[in-house]
């Protein structure tokens, strides 16, 4: 099935990832990373639960759970172009487009910044979900101190949009979460 034809269904987990065209950097400095995370809060948080993320210089990863109708998801109040059929993909597209437009304006460039379309993989088991969380967090070499990943947010007590409690429960407890991330 072609990526553009596979729709994101409600109340399902997905690994969403995208890289820069020709693997070129899409985040040039800390301000770019922070700005992308601000846009994530605006575009994704109302419609998705965020279980994991990592922003690298030339790509990003998310583990998202599409919010179900019972969570008051506004996607279900729309018809036509904004119907459930394509709503979740359009929201991710808006995040990427908004960031690209700002990036292009700041760096006086034009055209796409990311390869198209964004990649999505359905996560169909808890084991796979746990393994992907670890994989995403371990993307940076020094992941335990990396600022633009959800790893530190899960371990912190600071307010976050990450589903911290649910993630810790997936690993049974905080100690197992940390231990599962240590490479042997």
Nearest to 63 by CA among 96, 130, 127, 16: 16
Looking at domain 8-181, its CATH architecture is 2-Layer Sandwich (3.30)
How many CA within 13 A on the CB side of residue 67? 18
Q: What pLDDT is attached to residue 116? A: 87
Q: What pLDDT is attached to residue 76? A: 52
64-86 burial: b if 16+ Cβ within 10 Å, else e? bbbbeeeeebebbeeeeeeebeb
Per residue in 73-131, pLDDT (tens digit) is 555 555 444 455 678 999 999 999 999 999 999 999 999 999 989 999 999 999 999 99
Give the predicted TM-score (pTM) of the model. Answer: 0.89
Q: CA-based diameter of the chain, in Å?
A: 50
């Amino acid at each position: 099935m072609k990526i553009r034809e596979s729709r994101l269904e409600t109340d399902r987990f997905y690994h969403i990832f995208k890289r820069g065209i020709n693997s070129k950097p899409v985040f040039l400095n800390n301000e770019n990373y922070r700005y992308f995370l601000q846009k994530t809060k605006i575009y994704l948080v109302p419609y998705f639960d965020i279980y994991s993320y990592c922003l690298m210089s030339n790509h990003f990863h998310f583990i998202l759970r599409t919010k179900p109708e019972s969570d008051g998801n506004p996607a279900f109040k729309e018809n036509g172009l904004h119907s459930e059929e394509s709503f979740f993909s359009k929201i991710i597209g808006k995040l990427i487009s908004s960031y690209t437009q700002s990036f292009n304006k700041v760096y006086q460039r034009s055209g796409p910044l990311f390869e198209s379309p964004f990649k999505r993989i359905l996560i169909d088991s808890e084991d796979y979900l746990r393994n992907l969380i670890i994989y995403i967090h371990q993307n940076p070499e020094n992941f335990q101190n990396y600022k633009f990943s959800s790893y530190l947010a899960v371990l912190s007590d600071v307010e976050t949009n990450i589903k911290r409690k649910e993630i810790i429960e997936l690993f049974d407890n905080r100690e197992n979460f940390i231990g599962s991330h240590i490479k042997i």
